[in-house]
Amino acid sequence: MAYKSILTVLTTAADAALAIGSAARLARAQDAHLDILVLGVDRTQLGYSYIGTGAVLMEVALERAENEARETEAAVRAALAAEADGLRWGLEAAVTQLGALTELVAQRARFADIVVLARPYGPGKGNESEAVVEAALFEGRVPVLVLPESGLATATPRRVVLAWNQSAEALTAARQALPLLQAADTVDITVVDPPPHGPERSDPGGMLCQMLVRHGAHAEVSVLARSMPRISEVLGRHITDVNADLLVMGAYGHSRFREAILGGATRNMLEKAQVPVLMAH
């Protein structure tokens, strides 16, 4: 098993070097094709307005989105030019309204093996950044590798922390991360405060460990106490303690005004993680 189709989606030129460099590194390691989707996003949400102003605002917003798409595409092509020969890639650019972004991204993500994205939070990041992550995860049903500011240091992580809580999302993440787990030196299945009356009460993480070992992964189990207010903080400290270079976890969504919004634990982890985070739902 390997990732043969890798997708990255960009809505801002500032992320081009980070996303392209990391996605290209993974594509080479997996002998994969890299697909790049550049989006100019019309962020206007027109409500009540004076007669005639709506069309003017829409025209201005569309022109801004087109300019941003051209700027991002130019940055992407510059990043691709800096890559060594041999990378197989394709580039598509489009302009979309924020409300239509989910369908557009999900349509492309469904046919990818993994989506590589810059972190959706931080200076200069708008609602569209998180919407892209959500669209790939919840509608595209594809694993998403979210990059920290430092990017993907290695396309073959040596030590992986796999967050395990017996959920379907965590198991999906483990299965979809297999190409990376099999190549790692160690997969640390990390269980935080396992329930005393759960189905794995006598052997937390044991069945998952057995499954991964049968797939050729070098897996072990760490059971941690919830010594900090948030599980994301416990995981973050453990990642530092074991010097991990990848976190694998299930992604959780809550129904709100949009179709899906990243749950609190997922968002906390993405905001603070200093290593790439591979998520699946």
> What tens digit of pLDDT does each residue of 121-142 get?
988 888 899 999 999 999 999 9
Decide which of 51 and 147 is more confident.
147
Q: Is the pLDDT of residue 257 over 50?
A: no
pLDDT at residue number 254: 61
The answer to whether position 153 is within a domain reads: no
- Mean pLDDT throughout 146-155? 96
- Mean pLDDT throughout 258-281? 82
Q: Are residues 136 and 55 in the same domain?
A: yes
CA distance 62 to 68: 10
CB-based burial label for 254 (10 Å; 0-12, 13-18, 19+): exposed
Of the pLDDT bands very low, low, confident and very high (cuts 50, 70, 90), residue 56 is low
Q: Is the pLDDT of residue 278 over 60?
A: yes
pLDDT above 70 as % of the chain: 92
pLDDT at residue number 256: 45
- Mean pLDDT throughout 80-89? 94
Q: Are residues 111 and 208 in the same domain?
A: no
pLDDT at residue number 223: 97
| Partners of 8 in beta bridges | 36, 116
Which tens digits make up the pLDDT trace of 173-190? 999 999 999 999 999 999
pLDDT at residue number 45: 60
CA distance 201 to 175: 22
Q: Is the pLDDT of residue 202 over 50?
A: yes
The answer to whether position 250 is within a domain reads: yes
- With beta carbons less than 8 A apart as the criterion, state whether 9 and 101 touch: no
Domain assignment of residue 37, given as a range: 5-147
Of the pLDDT bands very low, low, confident and very high (cuts 50, 70, 90), residue 196 is confident
CA distance 109 to 96: 16
Q: Are residues 129 and 23 in the same domain?
A: yes
Of the pLDDT bands very low, low, confident and very high (cuts 50, 70, 90), residue 88 is very high
Of the pLDDT bands very low, low, confident and very high (cuts 50, 70, 90), residue 259 is very low
Q: Are residues 127 and 197 in the same domain?
A: no
Mean pLDDT value across the chain: 91
Q: Is the pLDDT of residue 251 over 80?
A: yes
Least confident window among 75-89, 120-134, 246-260: 246-260
Angle at 88 between CA 86 and CA 90, to 5 degrees: 145
Full DSSP string of 133-175? HHIIIIIS---EEEE-TT--S-SS-SEEEEE--S-HHHHHHHH
The answer to whether position 154 is within a domain reads: no
Q: Are residues 70 and 171 in the same domain?
A: no
- Looking at 95, 127, 147, the residue that finishes a domain is 147
The span from the first CA to the last CA of the chain, in angstroms, equals: 19
pLDDT at residue number 258: 45
Q: Are residues 87 and 11 in the same domain?
A: yes
Please count the other Cβ atoms lying within 10 Å of the Cβ belonging to residue 31.
10
Q: Are residues 163 and 143 in the same domain?
A: no
CATH of the domain at 113: 3.40.50.620
Which tens digits make up the pLDDT trace of 157-174? 999 999 999 999 999 999
pLDDT at residue number 53: 52
